[in-house]
């Protein structure tokens, strides 16, 4: 199964650090082909409502990677109590059925503990819109959980491991169902 681990931060490094750690945990599974992507490394256009097939460059690349993946770990820094605009733009760009029947585990990083429920009320509804399956136990990492740019908190690391293991279990269990879901046109180009 193809898993895309995506960080939605354009500025800092914490979210991508967590995403890379999740990707490393996923790479331990023989059944998983994982790729970690950092939105900060891409030049993604704003969604202007056109057919997703007509974007070019990095915008086309990110749409394609998402369409081709079976499961995702998606991470965002919390901005104003929600996901970043850059990540929301990616959700706006992809075809309506790009995530249908697929599996998503969410992670978020934030500077305050007040926003840990943003995964529940900002990210999970997006997955529901796309009719994706949400892995229970999204991981929220606070600034205190990092030292010298590394994720060091043992409990957060344990939760991340649990999230990635649950992701693989759920995506494997849904394998047959996913094959029956119509894939967007873009995969047949
Ligand atoms: C524009 C902006 C808005 C932010 N809003 C919040 C917020 O509402 N709640 C919060 O907990 N942290 C907020 N933060 C802090 C970031 O979420 C936090 O530093 C995060 O770990 C940064 O992740 P990164 O290093 O991957 O960019 C904000 C940071 C910025 C730059």
Burial of 167 (0-12, 13-18, 19+ CB in 10 A): buried
Mean pLDDT of the chain, nearest integer: 95
DSSP H or E run through 105: strand 103-110
The single residue listed with the structure tokens 């908190």 is 153
Domain residue spans of the chain: 2-188
Q: Please give the pLDDT value at position 176.
A: 78
What share of the chain has pLDDT > 90, as a percent?
92
What is the predicted pLDDT for the residue at 189? 39
Q: Which pair of tokens denotes residue 19?
A: 């995403």
Predicted confidence at residue 155, as pLDDT, reads 98
C-alpha of 144 from chain center: 22
CA torsion angle 117 175 52 107 (round to 10): 20
Element (H, E) at 6: strand 2-7
- Looking at residue 177, its pLDDT comes to 79
Residue 105, pLDDT score: 98
Q: CA 187 to CA 79: how far, in whole Å?
A: 32
Choice from 7, 77, 113 to test ligand 1 binding pocket (greatest atom count within 8 A of CB): 77
At residue 110, the pLDDT reads 98
pLDDT in tens, 7-46: 999 999 999 999 999 999 999 999 999 999 999 999 999 9
Average pLDDT rounded to a whole number, residues 79-99: 98
State if residue 78 touches ligand 1 by the CB under 6 angstroms criterion: yes
Task: Look at residue 119 in the predicted model and tell me its pLDDT.
Answer: 98
Helical ranges in 36-132 per DSSP H: 57-68, 85-93, 118, 124-129
Instruction: Please identify, by atom number, the ligand 1 atom nearest to the C-alpha of residue 75.
Output: 26
Residue 92, both tokens = 């706006």
Q: What pTM was estimated for this model as a whole? A: 0.95
Identify the band that residue 107 occupies on the pLDDT scale cut at 50, 70 and 90. very high
Q: Can you read off the two tokens belonging to residue 47?
A: 């969604």
Is residue 137 classed as helix, strand or coil in its secondary structure? Answer: coil
Q: What is the largest CA-CA distance in the chain?
A: 46
Please tell me the predicted confidence (pLDDT) of residue 124. 98
Q: Give the pLDDT confidence of 171-185 residue by residue, as tens digits.
A: 999 987 776 775 555
| Ligand 1 center to 82 CA (angstroms) | 9
Region 45-58: mean pLDDT is 97
pLDDT at residue 182, rounded to an integer: 55
Q: Report whether residue 75 contacts ligand 1, using a CB cutoff of 6 Å.
A: no
Within the chain, where are the H helices?
Answer: 14-26, 57-68, 85-93, 118, 124-129, 154-173, 175-180
Question: In the block, which residue shows the tokens 């059944």?
Answer: 31
Assign a CATH topology to domain 2-188.
Answer: Rossmann fold (3.40.50)
């Amino acid at each position: 199964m193809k898993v895309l681990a995506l960080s939605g931060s354009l500025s800092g490094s914490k979210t991508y650090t967590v995403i890379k750690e999740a990707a490393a945990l996923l790479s331990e599974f023989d059944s998983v082909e994982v790729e970690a992507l950092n939105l900060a490394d891409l030049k993604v256009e704003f969604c202007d409502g056109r057919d997703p097939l007509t974007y070019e460059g990095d915008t086309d690349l990110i749409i394609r990677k998402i369409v081709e993946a079976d499961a995702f770990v998606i991470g965002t820094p919390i901005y104003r109590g929600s996901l970043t605009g850059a990540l929301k733009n990616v959700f706006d760009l992809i075809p309506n059925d790009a995530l249908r029947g697929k599996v998503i585990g969410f992670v978020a990083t934030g500077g305050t503990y007040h926003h840990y429920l943003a995964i529940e009320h900002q990210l999970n509804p997006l997955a529901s819109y796309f009719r994706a399956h949400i892995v229970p136990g999204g991981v929220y990492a606070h600034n205190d959980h990092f030292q010298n740019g590394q994720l060091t908190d043992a409990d957060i690391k344990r939760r991340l491991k649990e999230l990635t293991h649950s992701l693989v279990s759920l995506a494997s269990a849904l394998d047959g169902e996913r094959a029956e879901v119509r894939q967007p046109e873009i995969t047949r180009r």
